[in-house]
Structure 1
């Protein structure tokens, strides 16, 4: 047996240099994750472990290349290589299955899509003042509306639902709605969050508010009780449904600059019933150098949403004040998305 001996002691500078080199390659993991999502590798492992050769045949991929991709992802516990050399599903990899209850496959494909990837790759252009609209000729939401369904079977709206599924579980169980309340999901996409809330709270009435082409695709029929919900098409920059008790805005405020946010929040303030509340559901950036997923999402927003940003608690407080609201509390849900509750000032 060959003995490997390495008693080299690295200096602090050498350790730091190697750390930086590794960070510069972090994007490779995202690329590998996109590859296995596109190939549907997780679906082929539902019935048990398989070798790279078997998976390559099933996915019409090159065996050697696929093995190397899976080997890398296994270092991050996305898939696992067992002692027999076969690859098997791990808990994270389960979420790549197309039939998983909270599948993240479409969400992974969306956030690693070429337009997202390119926006991050060209982030220096944004830092220097060029916007997504200047680069692509239309804003981020116009781009996805025009693009429609991709060749890989996802569009902005179902991919957004996929991306949000796991977060919604935390949000639904961490806010207590009074019995009989009416809840408006402002910019609620296909209604996944509202659906979860109505399922957990059987006395609530829900209103899904978004653009006509979005709400017409809603998922609320899955509730099995059409009397408890309605759709309301519209533009939140102009108005929102009136006289509701709660106005939820998940991943809405972070898409827009301060002035646009104030318009949206003011519309909610003017529409809500006496004693009503606004629930902004966004990451709250912590102070200092603490790692937080919100800081990663904030980089995406630099690239794709002109003026969009993740905000600190004090920044939410200031937005609310300018919209006639007062920050009442921030609820830590256990994931990176918090519930920032505002009441009438």
Structure 2
């Protein structure tokens, strides 16, 4: 005898019963019952979206900020974050499993050393890369359209959000500030190294092209009292650079000109700097920028390009390749290998004279000079 609710009704189909749903750690090769090999487990870890999204949710909810403020119990955390208590417990359970959080006593939590970096106020905070309320954390979510970027060869940020990346940075002052703050945080270490390690002997004037808020130029001028400088930037960052130079007491040695690097540059110089500019642009646009810089170089001058330059094509570095795909998805830009930089310089009528040892985050200084006629 059967009960009425055990009999499928006319015209309906009972959904399959999941007797023992498998986790990714339990997946087996179709048609076998053997345990998966190390290769399968490694592939599933690489393809896991749960962990990256869990970190982003934790950043967005400011979980670690609340823990650092002394709130450790589940009930209070759920109340402060406006979340479903059991769902939050399950999220935190995964964060404990991946050792971002710890659970010293039942349903009471604390950040690990890794988890501390999810605090907004931590000096080495990584929140800007993860929290969707920050520009880069937001932009990363456009990677769900990476397949479209690979098919088209162009950016997909607008596909996700309705307007291009740079338009968003310019139009939204809050998002724009998170972007420039994150870039400045990472680039400060690099710029300090450039100012300290590059040979500035005999340099009279530095023209910083597309130098954002002026961090590189201010670092160089502070280190070398004999050098004067000019920054060329769009009106928004140009205004911020003027204020920064004034605060640093550099206004008498640093001029700011609002303009575009796609137009002829307003002054000539014996040294021109391009720091993390060209990776934002396609090869065609990058050549236009390089040609304008070359035209503004004084006789015997040098162009310093500060970018990543991968020199190991046989074994690419994952940080380089992931950054390259981000540039594609965000803005249609690209990171470049040493060979690609050499070809780009050649196309623009220049040549790479030298390449510095690796700086922080894999950056290098590529010194370009005009090609012999």
* Superposition TM-score, scaled by structure 1 size: 0.79
Query: Which residue does the alignment assign to 1:162?
Result: 182
Residue 113 (structure 2) pairs with residue 90 (structure 1): yes
Residue 364 (structure 2) pairs with residue 338 (structure 1): yes
Query: Which residue does the alignment assign to 1:173?
Result: 193
- Change beyond 3 A, Cα 1:238–1:137: farther
Distance in 1, matches of 2:225 and 2:140, equals 38
Residue 205 (structure 2) pairs with residue 182 (structure 1): yes
- Change beyond 3 A, Cα 1:59–1:271: same
Distance in 2, matches of 1:193 and 1:88, equals 35
- Change beyond 3 A, Cα 1:98–1:83: closer
Distance in 2, matches of 1:157 and 1:110, equals 8
Tell me the alpha carbon deviations over residues 23-76 of structure 1, each in whole angstroms, 9 at most, x when there is no partner: 111x43332332233233343344568344444444444444445445544566
2:57 pairs, out of 5, 15, 35, with: 35
1:117 pairs, out of 127, 141, 145, with: 141
Alignment RMSD: 3.2
Query: Which residue does the alignment assign to 2:346?
Result: 321
Instruction: Mark the runs of 5 or more structure 1 residues left unpaired by the alignment.
Output: 1-9
Map 1:167-316 → 2, pairs under 5 A:
167-174=187-194, 175-178=197-200, 181-218=204-241, 219-285=244-310, 286-306=312-332, 308-316=333-341
* Superposition TM-score, scaled by structure 2 size: 0.74
Distance in 1, matches of 2:140 and 2:193, equals 31
Contact 1:51 1:87 in 2 (8 A): no
Contact 2:64 2:115 in 1 (8 A): no
Distance in 1, matches of 2:192 and 2:286, equals 24
Structure 1 position 323, deviation (Å): 1.8
Distance in 1, matches of 2:82 and 2:137, equals 21
Residue 102 (structure 2) pairs with residue 81 (structure 1): yes
Distance in 2, matches of 1:76 and 1:201, equals 47
Query: Secondary structure of 2:298's partner?
Result: coil
Tell me the alpha carbon deviations over residues 91-133 of structure 1, each in whole angstroms, 9 at most, x when there is no partner: 6734x444455654345432221x5412x11121122227437
Structure 1 position 284, deviation (Å): 1.5
Query: Which residue does the alignment assign to 1:5?
Result: none
Distance in 1, matches of 2:87 and 2:217, equals 42
Aligned residues: 325
Structure 1 position 313, deviation (Å): 0.5
Distance in 1, matches of 2:93 and 2:251, equals 48
Query: Which residue does the alignment assign to 1:14?
Result: 37
Structure 1 position 211, deviation (Å): 0.8
Tell me the alpha carbon deviations over residues 117-167 of structure 1, each in whole angstroms, 9 at most, x when there is no partner: 12x111211222274378477543234434x14xxxx32354143144224
Query: Secondary structure of 1:338's partner?
Result: strand
